[in-house]
A and B are shown apart, each in its own frame.
Chain A
Amino acid sequence: MLPELGHFALILALLLALVQAFFGIAGAHLRRDRWLAAVGPAVAGQFVMVATAIGCLVTAFVSHDFSVRYVAENSNSALPLFYRVTALWGAHEGSLLLWIFLLACWTLAVAVGAARLPPRFAARVLGVLGVVSCGFLLFTLATSNPFLRLIPAAPDGRDLNPILQDPALAIHPPILYTGYVGFAVAFAFACAAMLEGRLDQAWARWTRPWTTSAWAFLTVGIALGSWWAYYELGWGGFWFWDPVENASFMPWLVGTALVHSLAVTDKRGLFKSWTLLLAILAFSLSLLGTFLVRSGVLVSVHSFAADPTRGIFILVFLVLMIGGSLALYAWRAPLLRSAAGFELGARESFLLFNNILLVIAAAIVFGGTMAPLIADALGLPTLSVGTPYFNPTFLMPVLPLLALLPVGLHANWKKGRLRQKQRQILTALAAALVLSLAVSLGVFAQAKILTLVGLTLGPWIILSSLLDPLDRWRRQLSLSRSVLGMTTAHVGVGLFVIALTVVQSFTQEHDVALARGEKASVGGYEFRFEGVRGLEGANYEGVRGSVVVTRGTVPLGTLYPEKRRYFVQGTVTTEAAIQMTRGTNLLIALGDDLGAGRWSVRLQVRPLVSLVWLAALLMAIGGAVAGRDRRYRLARSPAEAAPAAAGAKQAAG
């Protein structure tokens, strides 16, 4: 009964999304203000329906209802409860349902927050979100219904892919999708502004917190995915330039550009049409990312679904959404002139370079990701694009981007003079350079050009970001949340650059064949293999090796890498053992049984690798803080803000 109820709820949600889209857009366009009243309830109703649907599917998973095909394919009676719930988004259909649910959440949040926006503008925003929701609901109902029955019911399920049975990956898709879907809100604001033919600084102020929050979610999502790849795929890399990773990275790059260009639109009323274009682009790439990963267009670690019949629908949907919004842009953007000018060397010009470089970086990733697909479609020889392409090309726009950051931070709006800041920036640069030389020569006793560049840029960005906040703190002035958030995010960027440089320059790894009692040493650490013994888990069996690690004469403990075989699908997974000592990650992965008690073992010493993810987290925290600045809340309605401020003053007094 429940799966049918869920299916029915999805159909109702589609109808409500149609209501929301039609009355929102048409009502605002035809100036029928009474139509607008239907939009809010439609949003709320749609949320309830989608929540019901997702609730039904979760219930089916939790209660082992193997008469539902999707449950039978992605769950198993031996699967622990936590993974039974997260198995919901373990494959294509459920992921789409999750997407729709998160869109309903964001839409509801916009509807609540938009109560203070001009009613017609709010209706347009919600209407556009309704259109997006319609597309996804139609797609799900027509091609990817998760509620289909399996008759007769399967006696037991095929189990969730074992590499997905992991806490980080369990929460990775919802967070990543929250970011993807968040860009739908920025997209909807952009479309609403174009439909209205009006885009002012207030618009940017409304859009900024949504965009920044979405960006923060996307950052966390990508970092989680990379962390998972590091320890779960077992072989110790954290970024493979895999198409699936790129699919989430492209919207991130464009989203980062959007966050910065919105700042200019907000503060100076410039870059209007560029901002709109970025909003469209960020969301288009999010859509592309969702479909590339989940429709089997790309074959990679994560793409389990492969159904070309869905391709047509996706293509039509993409063309309608992206083409439609670009057509709207071509028609309406000329109305949105920016009047003000700025000098070269003013903050605007730095942010312009930031935007151009980020878009170039995104284009480079796009080129590398799409080239195999395009070659395939044109019938050219099958080719693959990997790290040898991405690493050097990606650095070309990113190095200047990082070098402009510490200078651009201190540039003034409109005027191209750095004034007294110049000396401080140069002092920071000198300090960073000394630090970089000290670290590479003193600690690691080697210096490559790129290592020195990275180790200089990182600290320079951090020092330069901290100049202003420290100055204000010393003078006991308050810091706004947006400045605090920006500083946090930029310090995150600096730390990220340092971590990445150190990891890339000083990682040491070695594959060895070891028998019981034999030793190998890598990067100053000594690893003694103590053999393996059998292992039994709830839904898997395997072997566990023990490796004793020492540095010099100091024992650092024993690590236990595992090799597991999951019963249901017969999949073998490598569970690497990881230990952190003084900022350096030691990773041990168990390879194959070579016979006669020997095992192949991968030993890896990666300094500072944890900082890569922590720095990404710091960027996201910065975004979250900046998105909650008071200015954005006050901006919604000056009329309401005034009494609120008065009330606050009273309360304080």
Chain B
Amino acid sequence: MTPRRRRLSLVLGVLAGVAIAGGLTLRALRANVMFFFDPSQVLAGEAPRAERFRLGGMVEKGSVRRAPGSLEVNFVVTDFRHELPVRYTGVLPDLFREGQGVVAHGRIGAQGVFVADEVLAKHDEKYVPPEVARALKKEAATAAGGARTGS
């Protein structure tokens, strides 16, 4: 190849590669990302019915119940305004505790129970997942706003 043609093919190759990569990336992203919802949004019907999503909030104190002798565990996730029951079968992470932040991956099952296939509670005991923190902050803000209008 002449230098000119070689350069041209190099540029075309790179462009084609980048275009393909970009297209595939966007496509895969659209198909495979999971969105995050808090219990209030789920109960308001904003979360998808059929797809998996991430549910975040705090594990309500005193809500963790185990089915005796099996790996099934039930607990309630709250954003302090609404609660959503969650069912999970498996080993819970080390930092899963009542009153702590949690993110669960899964989908809405029968009777409005969120069936989780993955529960995340990494990070230290002071850690609150950023989405949960934001959701809680939003709650606090609306609560304060409500109080003001009420008085």
Contacts and interface: CB of A to CB of B under 8 A. Distances in A.
Whether chain B is bound by chain A comes out as yes
Interface of A: 161, 234-235, 274, 299-301, 338-344, 352-353, 356-357, 359-360, 363-364, 367-368, 371, 381-386, 388-389, 392-393, 396-397, 511-513, 515, 563, 569-574, 589, 591-592, 594-596, 598, 600-602
B91 A594 contact: no
A382 B55 CA distance: 11
B20 interface: yes
Contacts of B92: 591-592, 600
B13 interface: yes
Interface stretch (B77-85, B108-116, B124-132, B136-144): B124-132
Contacts of B66: 594-595
A342 B129 CA distance: 54
A393 B92 CA distance: 30
Interface in B9-53: 10, 13-14, 17-18, 20-22, 24-26, 28-29, 31-36
B91 A589 contact: yes
A382 B31 CA distance: 15
A511 B88 CA distance: 12
B21 A344 contact: no
A268 B69 CA distance: 69
A594 B69 contact: yes
B25 A341 contact: no
Given A594-B70, A600-B91, 12 more contacts: A299-B130, A341-B1, A353-B13, A360-B17, A363-B21, A363-B22, A371-B29, A383-B33, A511-B90, A569-B125, A571-B125, A589-B91
Contacts of B31: 389
B91 A385 contact: no
Contact of A393 (B24, B68, B90, B130): B24
A250 to B, nearest CB: 14
Contact of A511 (B29, B91, B123, B130): B91
Contacts of B131: 382
The CB with the most chain A CB atoms within 10 A, among B5, B130, B134, is that of B130
Given A352-B13, A571-B124, A396 B24 contact: yes
B3 interface: yes
Interface residues of B, number: 45
A367 B29 contact: yes
Nearest to B129: A299
B91 A363 contact: no
A274 B31 CA distance: 33
Given A360-B20, A385-B29, A342 B1 contact: yes
The CB with the most chain B CB atoms within 10 A, among A338, A343, A382, A573, is that of A382
The CB with the most chain A CB atoms within 10 A, among B20, B54, B122, B129, is that of B122
Contacts, number: 123
A343 B36 CA distance: 51
A364 B24 CA distance: 9
A383 B56 CA distance: 12
B2 A513 contact: no
Contact of A512 (B2, B6, B71, B129): B71
Contacts of A589: 91
A563 B96 CA distance: 14
Contact of A234 (B94, B124, B125): B94
Given A382-B36, A513-B69, A572 B95 contact: yes
A569 B69 contact: no
A271 to B, nearest CB: 9
Contacts of B10: 274, 352
26 contacts: A235-B93, A299-B123, A301-B122, A340-B3, A341-B3, A342-B1, A360-B17, A360-B18, A363-B22, A364-B21, A368-B29, A371-B29, A382-B35, A384-B36, A385-B33, A388-B32, A389-B28, A389-B31, A392-B28, A393-B28, A396-B24, A589-B91, A591-B92, A595-B68, A596-B68, A600-B71
Contact of B17 (A340, A357, A572): A357
Nearest to B130: A299
A601 B95 CA distance: 16
A77 B70 CA distance: 41
Looking at chain A's contact residues, the main secondary structure is mixed
A384 B22 contact: no
Given A384-B33, A392-B28, A360 B71 contact: no
Contacts of B93: 235
B25 A364 contact: yes
Contact of B1 (A234, A235, A274, A344): A344
Contacts of B3: 338-341
A512 B70 CA distance: 8
Contacts of A338: 3
A598 B90 CA distance: 14
A363 B5 CA distance: 26
Nearest to B1: A341
Nearest to A574: B94
Contacts of B32: 385-386, 388-389
A149 B106 CA distance: 46
A572 B34 CA distance: 28
Contacts of A161: 124
A592 B29 CA distance: 35
Contacts of B14: 356
A601 B94 CA distance: 13
Contacts of B94: 234, 563, 571-574
Nearest to A366: B25
Nearest to A396: B24
B124 A569 contact: yes
Contact of A381 (B18, B36, B68, B70): B36
A329 to B, nearest CB: 15
A385 B30 CA distance: 10
B69 A383 contact: no
B35 A381 contact: yes
B149 to A, nearest CB: 26
A314 B2 CA distance: 44
B63 to A, nearest CB: 16
B52 to A, nearest CB: 9
A605 B46 CA distance: 40
A296 to B, nearest CB: 10
The CB with the most chain A CB atoms within 10 A, among B10, B29, B32, B90, is that of B32
B29 A389 contact: yes
A651 B35 CA distance: 70
Contacts of A274: 10
Contacts of B17: 356-357, 359-360
B25 A368 contact: yes
A596 B94 CA distance: 20
Instruction: Kindly list the 8 A-B residue pairs having the minimum CB-CB distance in the complex, ordered from nearest.
Output: A591-B91, A389-B32, A382-B36, A360-B21, A367-B25, A388-B32, A393-B28, A572-B94
Nearest to B97: A572
B128 to A, nearest CB: 10
The CB with the most chain B CB atoms within 10 A, among A339, A381, A589, is that of A381
B33 A371 contact: yes
